[in-house]
């Protein structure tokens, strides 16, 4: 088995326990990935980290080169965990909280490695990796997490209108801008992919309050401590 890949997103902060042994800038047929690959160890396990929005967190979601990111990781790892941020499409979700989505919807901007030939894959998240993460979350003492959520991906970079949120809530529970692209490309690359989603805000119109980007970032960064507990529990069980 090769290492475990982690794609860090909006709430991803530095992790003191992650010992970086090597940092490599990669070039792929699809262009340059969002960040160098950070190779190192965590809880005694080989980890390869890529920062989705760049080392300085300055790449907006609609400009992320998902194909380069997944291509760069596919020869490094067998399994990939995406750390993502999302908004709740329904009021019954708590903010902040954590979801391990079981499926996703992405009608509008699907991506593929197969631009020049007809090749269909059946998209989906890794049930085995998800189950391990669910058990890790339960074992971490974190508390309740959402295990049944459906993630709906939009393009960004703007948030959704209230009317759009009403429509999206008919398809799923969470709305974000990145996870579905990573999941589909991972399936094409034969990588096991699952996501830990930080629920950092209510989507526009779900609550009677305006959605502020800075508040989303702050909540995601605070929720990172809980995600670290789940990841630590997951790696310790390996």
Confidence of residue 108 (pLDDT cuts 50, 70, 90): confident
In this prediction, residue 12 carries a pLDDT of 66
**Under a CB-based contact definition with an 8 Å cutoff, are residues 86 and 168 in contact?**
no
Residue 48: strand, helix, or coil? strand
Neighbours of 23 (CB within 10 A): 13
> What is the secondary structure of 146-209 as a DSSP string?
BSS-EEEE---SS---HHHHHHHTTT-SEEESSHHHHHHHHHHTT-EEEEEEEEEEEPBTTBSS
* CATH number for position 226: 3.40.50.1580
Range of the domain at 103: 3-236
In this prediction, residue 27 carries a pLDDT of 95
Cis amide leading into 96 (omega within 30): yes
Q: What is the mean pLDDT of residues 154-161?
A: 94
Q: Which residues contact 54 (CB under 8 A, 6 or more apart)?
A: 34, 35
What is the per-residue pLDDT across 24-78, written as a single tens digit (0 to 9) for each? 999 999 999 999 999 999 999 999 999 999 999 899 999 999 999 999 999 899 9
**Angle, CA of 225, 195 and 135, to the nearest 5°:** 75
Side-chain half-sphere CA neighbours of 34 within 13 A: 27
* Domains in the chain, number: 1
In this prediction, residue 213 carries a pLDDT of 82
User: Which DSSP state fits 28?
Assistant: B
Confidence of residue 238 (pLDDT cuts 50, 70, 90): confident
């Amino acid at each position: 088995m090769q290492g475990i890949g982690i794609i860090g997103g909006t709430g991803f902060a530095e992790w003191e326990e992650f010992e970086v042994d090597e940092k490599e800038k990669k070039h792929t047929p699809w262009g340059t990935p969002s960040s160098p690959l950070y190779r190192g160890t965590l809880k005694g396990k080989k980890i390869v980290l890529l920062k989705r929005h760049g080392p300085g967190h300055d790449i907006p979601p609609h400009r992320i080169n998902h194909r380069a990111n997944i291509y760069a990781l596919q020869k490094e790892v067998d399994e990939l965990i995406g750390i993502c941020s999302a908004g709740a499409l329904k009021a019954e979700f708590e903010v902040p909280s954590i979801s391990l989505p079981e499926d996703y919807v992405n009608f509008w901007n699907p991506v593929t490695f197969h631009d020049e030939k007809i090749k269909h894959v059946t998209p989906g998240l890794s049930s085995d990796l998800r189950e391990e993460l669910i058990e890790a979350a339960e074992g971490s003492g974190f508390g309740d997490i959402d295990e049944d959520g459906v993630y709906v991906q939009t393009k960004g970079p703007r948030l959704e209108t209230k009317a759009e949120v009403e429509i999206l809530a008919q398809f799923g529970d969470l709305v974000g801008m990145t996870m579905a692209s990573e999941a589909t490309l991972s399936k094409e690359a034969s990588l096991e992919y699952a996501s830990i989603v930080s629920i950092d805000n209510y989507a526009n119109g779900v609550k009677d309050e305006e959605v502020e980007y800075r508040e989303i970032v702050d909540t995601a960064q605070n929720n990172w401590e809980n995600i670290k507990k789940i990841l630590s529990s997951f790696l310790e069980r390996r």
